[in-house]
Amino acid sequence: MFDTLNPSDLNESNARLLREPTKTRPPIWIVKEGGKKAVVKDFSRQGWLYRNIVGRILIWRERKAYEMLQGIQGVPCLYRTIPGKALIIEAIDGQDLRTFERELISMAQDGSETSALEEKKKLLSLDFFLNIKKLVDEIHERGAVHCDLKRTPNIMIGKDGNPYIVDWAAFIAKNEARIFPLNILYKRFLQDDYLSITKLKVNNRPDLATEEEHQAYKDYKAGREEAGFERTIREFRKKIRTLLKKMA
């Protein structure tokens, strides 16, 4: 599928630009072929150094994750990769949760009818949260951890009401983390994936969160500044981003 697609040929006349590129983020296109819709993460126009080092690594990581997780409902399927250039992934018909949350905020600000706002909020139903928990269980059972679920753009709600998880560049496979201290880190990331769901629930549907979940989120927030793990990961990510910007 999408066998003849060449990312360098994509433009506004044959594809829809879903996200503008930045120095460190590739443009994302939506393309259609034979009744199927795909998302193309297109590294082909980034600078040479970025494309050949960072681009290749990111494409390799995401490819590995999609291959491990193939067939799980809630993880889009990978149609094709073009090494060093692009990932072509099944497009999910729906909305990412950052866009979803922003829409809720602007509806509240521009005085949209309360009923419309409530209807939208209800899309994040108890079933949605049960299903995302099941989805994360299944991913963990396959031996993978997402590691970046606290970022709401990486979770989508489909038009079918179901959760979908995208952006696997930061994932870790269990068999890559067998040795100390990586095995400890892996366990922390497993917990972190679940904490991301709690955070999402407490922030958007506090009425659905249990007392334990409210408490877990409070503890997480209270301890966040002191937690060595969180701080180390945050600082590490910041350093990587600065390095990437220099390379771009």
Report the site for ligand ATP in 143-162 (rule: CB under 6 A): 151, 153-154
96 binds ligand ATP per the rule CB under 6 A: yes
91 binds ligand ATP per the rule CB under 6 A: yes
Give the sign of the dihedral formed by CA 182, CA 244, CA 59, CA 75. Answer: positive
**Which amino acid belongs to residue 193?**
D
Say how many C-beta atoms besides its own lie within 10 A of residue 137's C-beta.
12
196 binds Mg ion per the rule CB under 5 A: no
Q: Choose one: 48-56, 63-71, 84-92, 239-247; the region binding ligand ATP (CB under 6 A).
A: 84-92
The span from the CA of 171 to the CA of 185, in Å, is: 12
Cβ contact 156:164 at 8 Å: yes
**Which amino acid belongs to residue 88?**
I
96 binds Mg ion per the rule CB under 5 A: no
Binding letters toward ligand ATP, positions 58-77, x by CB under 6 A:
------------------x-
Cβ contact 69:172 at 8 Å: no
With contacts defined by CB under 6 A, how many residues of the chain interact with ligand ATP? 17
Binding site for ligand ATP (CB under 6 A): 18-19, 25, 28, 39, 76, 89-92, 96, 151, 153-154, 166-167, 169
